[in-house]
């Protein structure tokens, strides 16, 4: 009976990894810099942020006319040390809030380390605490010539769940490392319909994700408007209703290029994330326009 209960908890946690956390992944998919081809060394573009950057998002679950608050995400970027070398430390914390706390409590943290000189993703650690289910997943990344590999090690409180290697002839990223994508794009030269594909190491699988630029839009939130650039996200994963346009991201149209709104379609309803506040940004948030009351 205890084993059945544990299996049920694992299955339930997995569903939340596919729904709640994958929305956050979409949130975090866009927080860092440019993912290029491996021939271009897969380097994230780090000149758009600085040590001490902090961004907070509010997350809502949308089902028909109901839009209860479901959680919050907080992102921090700081200079640190990884294996005795200077590095970028990139962290996101994910918490449920409001009505979601009554039926499923989530306290997750994802940490990434990038080399400082040539900012390659070196190491990822995801610590999961969801509804009483605990899990740790560590990914170590290696690079050789035009190839990338990732050693994925996942364990729960009771046993090892995954211990495997993944290989690609292109860039490989974890769930947070793919955030290192849109913020470094040369947005002035984007063309409508232009696509940016990448691969994500998740569990035992490589998941294909593609961003597609759709042009400029205005996002309104209360008495604030944001000038943005809209991207569609195609995610080839069973958690989403469709692979095409699984999510939409509105990227702030200023030098920071942070997301101000993210929307992800789920099997039932959708989840939306909205920019709340920030500090330590390298540039003024010029995409934000406060409306007169």
- Token pair listed for 147: 């190839």
The pLDDT value given to residue 1: 54
Which residues are bridge partners to 79 per DSSP? 88
The pLDDT value given to residue 44: 47
Give me the helix-helix angle, 20-29 and 2-18, nearest 10°.
40
pLDDT of residue 194 exceeding 50: yes
pLDDT of residue 187 exceeding 90: no
Task: Name the residue with higher pLDDT: 175 or 169.
Answer: 169
pLDDT of residue 56 exceeding 70: yes
Lowest mean pLDDT among 67-76, 183-192, 256-265: 183-192
Percent of the chain with pLDDT over 70: 74
Which domain does 133 fall in, by range? 2-290
The pLDDT value given to residue 188: 78
At 119-149, the pLDDT tens digits run 678 899 989 887 778 999 999 988 887 788 9
Query: What is the chain's mean pLDDT, rounded?
Result: 78
At 237-278, the pLDDT tens digits run 665 555 677 788 898 999 888 889 988 877 778 888 999 999
The backbone torsions φ and ψ at residue 221, rounded to the nearest 5 degrees and listed phi first, read: -140, 105
SS (H, E, C) the chain: CHHHHHHHHHHHHHHHHHCHHHHHHHHHHCCCCCCCCHHHCCCCCCCCCCCCEEEEEEEEEEECCECCEEEEEEEEEEEEEECCEEEEEEEEEEEECCCHHHHCCEEEEEEEEEECCCCCEEEEEEEEEECCEEEEEEEEEEEECCEEEEEEEEEECCCEEEEEEEEECCCEECCCHHHCCHHHCCHHHCCCCCEEEEEEEECCEEEEEEEEEEEEEEEEECCEEEEEEEEEEEECCCCCCCCCCCEEEEEECCCCCCEEEEEEECCCCEEEEEEEEEECCCCCCCCEEECCC
| Gap between the Cα atoms of 230 and 262, Å rounded | 10
Count structural domains, the chain.
Answer: 1
Residues 6+ apart with CB under 8 A from 151: 139, 140, 142, 164, 165
Question: How far does CA 44 lie from the centroid of its chain?
Answer: 14
Residue 200 neighbours by CB distance under 10 Å:
22
């Amino acid at each position: 009976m205890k084993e059945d209960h544990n299996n049920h908890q694992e299955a339930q946690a997995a569903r939340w990894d596919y729904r709640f956390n994958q929305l956050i992944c979409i949130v975090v998919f866009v927080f860092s810099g440019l993912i290029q081809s491996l021939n271009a060394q897969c380097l994230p573009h780090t000149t758009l942020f600085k040590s001490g950057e902090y961004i907070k998002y509010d997350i809502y679950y949308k089902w028909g006319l109901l839009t209860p608050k479901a959680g919050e995400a907080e992102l921090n970027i700081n200079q640190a040390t990884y294996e005795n070398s200077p590095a970028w430390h990139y962290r996101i914390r994910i918490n449920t809030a409001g009505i979601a706390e009554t039926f499923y409590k989530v306290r997750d943290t994802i940490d990434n380390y990038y080399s400082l000189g040539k900012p390659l993703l070196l190491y990822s650690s995801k610590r999961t605490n969801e509804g009483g289910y605990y899990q740790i997943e560590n990914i170590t990344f290696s690079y050789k010539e035009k190839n990338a590999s990732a050693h994925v090690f996942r364990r729960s409180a009771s046993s090892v769940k995954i211990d495997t290697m993944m290989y690609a002839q292109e860039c490989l990223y974890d769930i947070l490392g793919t955030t290192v994508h849109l913020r470094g794009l040369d947005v002035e030269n984007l063309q409508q319909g232009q696509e940016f594909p990448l691969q994500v190491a998740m569990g035992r699988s490589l998941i294909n994700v593609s961003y597609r630029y759709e042009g400029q839009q205005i996002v309104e939130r209360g008495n604030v408007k944001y000038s943005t650039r809209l991207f569609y996200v195609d995610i080839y994963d069973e958690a989403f209703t469709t692979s095409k346009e699984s999510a939409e991201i509105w990227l702030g149209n200023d030098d920071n290029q942070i997301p101000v709104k993210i929307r992800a379609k789920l099997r039932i309803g959708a989840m939306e994330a909205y920019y709340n506040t920030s500090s330590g940004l390298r540039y003024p948030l010029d995409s934000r326009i406060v409306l007169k009351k």
